[in-house]
A and B are shown apart, each in its own frame.
Chain A
Amino acid sequence: MRPDALKLPFERSGLSSLVRRACPDRWHLATLLLAGLVLAPLGVVLFSIFSETNDVWLHFVHTTLITLITNTLWLLLGVACGTTFVGVSLAWLIAAYDFPGRRWLDWALMLPLSLPPYVVAFVSIGLLDFTGPIQTQLRSWLGADQVWFPRIRSTGGVVFVMTLTLYPYVYMLARNAFLTQGRRAIEASQSLGQSRFQGFFKVALPMARPWIAGGLALVLMETLADFGTVSIFNYDTFTTAIYKAWFGLFSLSAAAQLASLLVLIVFIVLFIEQRSRSHQRFSQAGRSHVADRIPLGGVRGWMAFVYTFLVFCIAFLIPVGQLSIWAARVFGQDFDSRYLSFFSHSVFLGGTAALLACGCALILVSASRLKNDLLTRISVRLATLGYALPGSVLAVGIFIPLVWTDKQIIGWMKNFFGIEIGFLFSGTLFAMLLGYLIRFLAVAHGAVDSAVNRITPSLDETARSLGISGIPLLRKVYLPMLRGGLLTAALLVFVDVMKEMPITLMTRPFGWDTLSVRIFEMTSEGEWERAALPAMALVLTGFLPVILLSRYSGKGN
């Protein structure tokens, strides 16, 4: 760049530049499009509240609606209590104390995240049901025909299983809160005469409340969205009802109306989560000279070990062990070309969805950086709201407009050209991938966004002062620095899509069965052992991001 020749002549401000500034540019359009993708199914579902009530809907209202609502409430309550108790107690033990095995249990306690909840569900039922090995063994030992044993196929059973698989959300967040704030707070309260026990309840726990609430909100949203676990337990909730309305009774509109009710409940939980996040922002993030852990000696140390190890066993070791045994048993007969086709379908869908989600996340992140105005901020926020929508709701919300569009196109083609064509959009991979994108865009965006935050504004401005802006800036500065974040995002989305069940079940084209679909089919018929083989594949792929996650949060220690 020569000093005496500024590159372009300075433009006279006039009508042309005014118009140019008023029209939304490509970044605005892109973010608005992505936000629209999320709002459209939501709007469609909510709108169905106002549509005509038909017979199918009335049928539901009269027979099962009350059951659905009470079941959902009991489930939410039970899981909330369970995960809070388990998650917080574990987090406190790990964060504040030192006991034998603490170091590896620290990250091992996060491993249950790699198990899809419905896998733990059928393993538990297979193990603990009346005809399962444990009860059978118990009966033979005691030589009786009937021995009392808690029924696994009950509300308690569902709550038990979901607690085991979802506690890591609360555990992770509470642990971070306790690590950064709790220990010093305890020392401060000790210097004021309080015992450690009192300090925990009076100081550390209240300070960690926003984080615990945040983890709890995640747990509740996962619970509301869950389809696989509740269907295996035959526990009627909204997600199973939506599925039945659609596939059993062929009423898309009844499904939509059920979905709208579910969405309303989700909004309430979402509201709680947003509130908890804002409180997190105001909490102190001071210099953490992390104090040493308090060593637990002797009996207490071993008790702590037993408790944490027990949770780890029940939530992870036993299910994985049982899965391996069953998978080994059926390996010979089931590991055939059909299995490989399930596997390749899952991988293909996961990979494609990951690419899509990462690309869109990159667009969102670039737009927020290049155009930091209100419109962009709102659009980005909306576009990442998709994670709150349960898969069943999304499936319905995508299908209805697609079917409508298809019918319009078919009718139009017939009237104008006299050509008869089949469905273009609905029932194709397009609908499926769209569903994955909407649901998991937030996951990708979260990972990329936290990577982007390491790119300081002064890096941006430096590049601009050196003559690089717009797309070249993204290519030369952002992309290289975001590589790690993009990889994490792709991995997270890949695994999430592989585990996903309701969208896959409800929108897949003919012949596109995946591992999760296979598990659903097998478990619907009670074939636990045969379901173990596809489940193993899911668990193994699920390891990767969890190991990543626990490494990252371990670094903060």
Chain B
Amino acid sequence: MTVIELIQITKTYPGGKMPAVYEISLKINKGEVLALLGPSGSGKTTLLRLIAGFETPDQGKIFLNGQEVSRPRYCLPPEKRGVGMVFQDYALFPHLTVAENVAFGLGSLKRDLRRKRVEEVVDQVGLTSLARRYPHELSGGQQQRVALARALAPNPIVLMLDEPFSNLDPDMRTQMRMEVAAILRRTGSTAILVTHDHEEAFAMADKVAVLNAGRLEQCDPPELVYHIPATPFIADFVGQADFIPGVIRDGKVVAEIGVFPNASPFVDGTEVMVMIRPDDIDLVPDEKGVATVLSRQFKGSENLYTISLPSGQILHSSQHSLAVYADQTRVGLKLKVTHTVLFRREDPFFNKELIE
């Protein structure tokens, strides 16, 4: 069942030269977690605020549970939409206890029902023992759970989280990610998560919507976004990606390091760029090898090698944690590509230097 539907949403801020979001269409189903992923300025927070009702679209429509809530020049205010929000700074009311904070949006319930619901939600986020504390007495992770509980308490149509983990230290971040993902699944909540961290998006979301400069470039499950990115921007944004030039010949893609199968609609003669991920090639030390090791980055669980080809092309390869090769070692390449991802060579992504 579709909970949220956006149709061709466009918004330009007054004084802005480019639209903050441009012709974005999305559908979110009940119980789904959608990640809005993109660099800063890509329009993901704008989209969030449009869905919440804090901004009005210039064009397009937004439907919540089948009801139209936003369209140009008018929108249903946020207090009437039933959306829950968790902000980056948690925005807990400092003069209320945890329990009072969580109860804040439950004004319409009778007192005993309200108390029951508060207990239920506080229990779901694991803060029962801290219900009487004030926000300044809690740690960052605990404060975030309070913010989550408060947003969940009124049973919102959708829960919206705006970069919720950016205020935590890295180890807390991973832990909270898993906890929050578990809470969302347990409560069967529909949620939208705004983030610039692709790892976060992949870990928590059922579908990832990638935004670039206000446009929606892809909306797919995380595995598809990683393995079959729709644009080179996405390929580069969600993980290490190298692109080597190739050309279609006899229905196959011919490139400097080898020949790849072609499942794309591109015809013979098309000039393309092939996406290569570090886990797509293996290095084999070989005195007569074509490639040279330039540098090694030890990452703990793996070694990331930067290698250069005779043409000057730079590639990366991910090797075993204990496989150490010195700089300037000559290596041969073994291709492990399971599927070929191709982009047109004329794509503006590859011609940025010319534009500038």
A interface residues, Cβ below 8 angstroms from B: 1-4, 6-8, 10-11, 13, 17, 456, 458-459, 461-469, 472, 476-477, 480-481
Contacts and interface: CB of A to CB of B under 8 A. Distances in A.
Nearest to A14: B74
Contacts of B73: 13
Given A1-B154, A462-B91, A468-B105, A7 B84 contact: no
B94 interface: yes
Given A465-B78, A465-B79, A6 B105 contact: no
A6 to B, nearest CB: 6
B104 interface: yes
Contacts of A10: 67-69, 76
B85 A465 contact: yes
Interface in B58-89: 64-65, 67-69, 73-74, 76-85, 87-89
A469 B81 CA distance: 13
Contact of B151 (A3, A465, A481): A465
Given A2-B155, A463-B104, A469 B79 contact: yes
Interface of B: 52, 54, 64-65, 67-69, 73-74, 76-85, 87-89, 91, 93-95, 104-105, 107-108, 147, 150-151, 154-157
Given A467-B107, A480-B95, A462 B85 contact: yes
A449 B88 CA distance: 24
Contacts of A461: 52, 54, 78, 85, 87, 91
A243 B108 CA distance: 60
Given A8-B80, A481-B94, 5 more contacts: A1-B155, A458-B87, A463-B104, A466-B84, A467-B82
Contact of A6 (B82, B89, B108, B150): B82
Contacts of B64: 6
Contacts of B91: 456, 458-459, 461-462
Contacts of A466: 79, 84, 104-105, 150-151, 154
A467 B74 CA distance: 18
Given A1-B82, A462-B85, A468 B107 contact: yes
Contact of B74 (A1, A4, A13, A463): A13
Contacts of B76: 6, 8, 10
A11 to B, nearest CB: 7
A76 to B, nearest CB: 42
A481 B95 contact: yes
A122 B136 CA distance: 51
> Among the interface residues B52, B85, B88, B150, which one has the most CB atoms of the partner chain A within 10 A?
B85
24 contacts: A1-B82, A1-B154, A1-B155, A1-B156, A3-B155, A3-B157, A6-B65, A6-B67, A10-B67, A10-B68, A10-B69, A13-B74, A458-B89, A459-B91, A461-B52, A461-B54, A461-B87, A464-B79, A465-B105, A467-B79, A467-B108, A468-B107, A469-B79, A480-B95
A285 B91 CA distance: 24
Contacts of B93: 459, 477, 481
A464 B160 CA distance: 14
A468 B79 contact: yes
Nearest to A1: B154
A2 B73 CA distance: 27
A468 B77 CA distance: 11
A462 B87 contact: yes
Contacts of A472: 107
